[in-house]
Amino acid sequence: MDRITGQSFASRSEVIALHAMAATSHPLATQAAVGLLAAGGNAVDAAIGANAVQCLVEPTGCGLGGDLFALVWDPAERRLAGLNASGRSPAGLSLEEFARLGVQRIPAHGPLSVSVPGCVDGWCVLHERYGSLSLARVLEPAVRYAREGAPIPEVIAWAWGRSAKVLGNQPGFADTFLPGGRAPVKGELFRNPGLARTLERVGAEGRAAFYGGEAADTVDAFCRATGAYLRREDLERHRSDWVDPVSTTYRGVELWELPPNGQGIAALQMLNLLEAYDLAGMGFGSADHLHLLCEAKKLAFADRARFYADPEFTEVPLEALISKEYATERRALIDPERAGRHTEPGNPALSRGDTICLSTADDEGRMVSLIQSNYRGMGSGLTPPGLGFCLQDRGELFDLTPGRPNSFAPSKRPFHTIIPAFLTRDGRPWVAFGLMGGDTQPQGHAQIVINLVDFGFGLQEAGDAPRMVHTGSSKPTGERATGGGRLLLESGFASQTVRELTRRRHQVGAALGAFGGYQAVARRRGVYFGASEARKDGQAAGF
């Protein structure tokens, strides 16, 4: 009997609905989004509400102490709007202070990695521009679950247990996230009354309840006591920015990403490099297909390490980096028969972590791709008392070598890994999607587009297909790729493909949990399609 879904790796069929759709990595978040849509909310209300629920039930990937980015298709204006709601470094911390402390690299956890949380301001800015329900109503499902408790599913429970081993001794962490002295196990209820109070205040007072008043004073006092440099003044000065998304065409489809300080343009660079090859003719999962993906990634990430940074502090050659001409120049460095061993950045003309992503759509045609993260799983570990969230450790991604684009500076945004994505065709919205997971994200974005466009996979199949992830490329902290890095392959690729990649001198390996998590909503033939991949606990649903 033929498979209904077409591809052997597909976990299920797509979800299809007429009026609205939501896809997240937690069923309760998806249901909260659909409930808000059914109550008269729009896709932005649903995205905020779902994210707030995930801050409770999936703190392993997101939280009020983290950052946020979003792409919103506005049907009235027939265009995409982009929001950068990432926070900046503390104004009172400097390279000189790191030198005085004898720190040569910012630690992954603890007080020196903390930067300003941008999530709540991002919610408020999105809601002010697009929201239809009150913010209090949007946050109501999260408040209710935070008080009543929500059961923790399997993948999140696994990640929570891993984080507990690393962060359990950080100030305040156990009080909020280790009830009874341990991480919640699968199926166990988790309550967070501090988060419920914080969300209620934000719903009633907006950003002022988070970036001022009692919450800001609590964060300030906690940071002073624990050696972190974040202060009330940093919170008060924080602002999110509406930015223009950037794009490239790939075989007639437009992929849209946000410009730096994020890494989204790496996906655009990869697709520009790969457009010259007949990937469809090579076949999905062939050695040629995976080899070219890997080599394109190396070239894009070399540029990522050299050029991607906060544009308020450094000149980013954005147009040149994502141009077809530059891709043609760089493509000449790809050897179709041998893996590159050392990859240097190009010269365009100058004039890890964990995350959640979600997609929503409404009856008016509005579509949202939102991504939110604490960076490394649950963040720095520093958890201010009574507020219900952990401060992010995004500051780890700064470079402490002076004079580089991503070198640390006070009140500067660090290089960012989290990136929402959007596909259009002929100027019309097609797919709002994301693929969480640190350095995996631009590699995953490129693979999703190729799966949809070159291989003709359905929306669910495009995410369920086995992935490759290359590690060891140049890092934004100035580290260079050596020895060609490692090509990690998910199960599902043929053994002869692995042998051929090894012959081409790839260092082939495997890694548990390294392949990201995809959520997507597509508009086609007047209806919505939803996909939520099997690597996470989530679901897509609509009505």
pLDDT score recorded for residue 484:
78
- Residue 131: C-alpha distances to residues 37, 72, 450 (Å): 11, 12, 34
Which secondary structure element, helix H or strand E, spans residue 369, and what is its range? strand 367-375
CATH architecture of the domain formed by 243-349+432-542: Orthogonal Bundle (1.10)
pLDDT, position 355: 82
**Backbone torsions φ then ψ of 15, nearest 5 degrees:** -90, 135
How would you write 72-103 as a 3-class SS string? EEECCCCEEEEEEECCCCCCCCCHHHHHHHCC
Handedness of CA 436, 441, 446, 450 (dihedral sign): negative
Question: What backbone torsions phi and psi does residue 24 show, to the nearest 5 degrees?
Answer: -140, 175
Specify whether the CB–CB gap between 382 and 228 falls below 8 A. Answer: yes
Tens of pLDDT, residue by residue over 450-485, are: 999 999 999 999 999 999 999 986 666 555 545 578
- For the entire predicted model, the pTM comes to 0.95
End-to-end CA distance of the chain, in Å? 30
User: pLDDT at position 169, please?
Assistant: 96
Q: For this structure, is 471 an active site residue?
A: no
What is the spatial distance between Cα 244 and Cα 239, in angstroms, rounded to a whole number?
16
- Report the pLDDT value the prediction gives residue 480, as an integer from 0 to 100: 52
| Stated length of the chain | 543
- Given this model, what pLDDT does residue 479 score? 52
In whole angstroms, what separates CA 57 from the centre of its chain?
17
Query: Residue 84 in contact with residue 258, Cβ under 8 Å?
Result: yes
Helix, strand, coil proportions of the chain in percent (round to 5)? 35, 20, 45
**DSSP one-letter string for 142-195:** HHHHHHH-EE--HHHHHHHHHHHHHHTTSTTHHHHH-GGGSPPPTT-EE--HHH
* pLDDT value of residue 170: 97
- Residues with Cβ < 8 Å from 429, sequence gap 6 or more? 73, 365, 367, 422, 523
pLDDT score, position 474: 64
Tell me how far CA of residue 319 lies from CA of 32, 254, 260, 351, 505, in angstroms: 39, 16, 12, 10, 33
- Domain segments of the chain: what residues? 15-242+355-397, 243-349+432-542
Which residue in 24, 30, 60, 355 is the catalytic one? 355
- pLDDT tens-place string over residues 404-455: 999 999 999 999 999 999 999 999 999 999 998 888 999 999 999 999 999 9
Low-confidence ranges of the chain (pLDDT < 70): 1-5, 346-354, 473-483, 512-513
- At 320, list the tokens: 């040149």
The tokens 């000149």 sit on which residue? Answer: 315
